[in-house]
Amino acid sequence: MIYKILLTIWMNLIIAAVFLYIEPAAGFPGEVSRILFFHVPMAWVATLAFLLSMIASSVYLITRKVNADFLAQSSAELGFLFCFLATVTGSIFAKATWGSFWNWDPRQTSIVMLLMIYGAYFVLRSAVADHEKRRVFAGVYSILAFCTVPFLVFIVPRITNSLHPEDTLNPAKPGMDIKTLIFFLGSLCAYTGLFVWMLRLKVRMLRIMDKERGRINFHK
């Protein structure tokens, strides 16, 4: 409860500061640079969630502990949500700066492939009736899909040049002043906190659902 209240205050502070205190970065038309504080943390959380999901899947395949699979499933679902939000916000940014919502920039290509891979992951989960089998299959598919990621990272950039602003992603480069950097990191923490909160809720929900299902089957 206290965690939720602190997180709410922190996120509200960040949002207010980002719009009222920070001035828009030079080199971008109008106010569009403010997307940095929302889009990049979303993409970061999506990456974190997918990585966590892959690791949890591997742990499940080795130890066969059900909790690891709950974590893998919840993490993949939240990762999909944040990945989708990052795609939408990125697309709005693309319209404002490059002139079109979608132009198959390498970043857009790889994010769409990520969405497709995890879309397929959920389809697989819903198509296997047996619980044990479903968990194993999902883990196997998630590792197999992870092995194609290096190809996406190295091959897709060969095809076209990216217009994605890299400077804003890399705080080590000059291009972001210290005030922006502090609030950027603050926003990153806020989004990660939000993710952790949602993840705990989701895992708890799956655990309760599993327990209830067990009880119903027992009473039958």
Partner 1 sequence: MHPTKSGRWITQTVSSTYLTEAVAIWFRDLRSEFRTRYAVNSILMFALTTLVTVSFSIGSFRIEESERPFLYAVLLWIILVFSALSGLSRSFVKEQEAGTMDILKLSARPQAVFLGKLLFNLTMLGVLELIIVPAFILLMGYKIKFPGCFVAMMVTGGLGLGAGTTLVAAMIAQANARGALFSALSFPLLLPLIITAIKGSERAAYGISAAGWPEVKIAAAYAVIMITVSLLLFPLIWEE
Site residues for partner 1 per CB under 8 A: 61, 113, 116-117, 119-120, 123-124, 127-129, 132-133, 136-137, 139-141, 143-145, 147-148, 151-152, 155-156, 158-159
Q: Are 131 and 209 in contact (CB under 8 A)?
A: no
Least CB distance to partner 1 at residue 92 (A): 25
**131 or 200: CB nearest partner 1:** 131
User: Which ranges of the chain does DSSP label H, i.e. alpha helix?
Assistant: 2-20, 36-63, 66-97, 106-127, 131-146, 149-159, 178-219
Least CB distance to partner 1 at residue 208 (A): 26
146: phi then psi, degrees, rounded to nearest 5: -60, -30
Least CB distance to partner 1 at residue 141 (A): 7
**8 or 103: CB nearest partner 1:** 103
**121 or 195: CB nearest partner 1:** 121
Least CB distance to partner 1 at residue 49 (A): 17
In the numeric block, the tokens 């699979």 are attached to 69
Token pair of 42 as six digits: 């979303």
Least CB distance to partner 1 at residue 20 (A): 42
Separation of alpha carbons 101 and 86, rounded Å: 13
Triad 111, 116, 120: Cα angle to 5°: 150
Least CB distance to partner 1 at residue 116 (A): 4
**15 or 136: CB nearest partner 1:** 136
> How far is the CA of 160 from the CAs of 15, 73, 154, 166, in angstroms?
35, 34, 12, 15
**101 or 137: CB nearest partner 1:** 137
Dihedral in degrees, nearest 10, Cα atoms 5, 6, 10, 12: 10
**1 or 147: CB nearest partner 1:** 147
Return the DSSP state at 169.
Answer: T
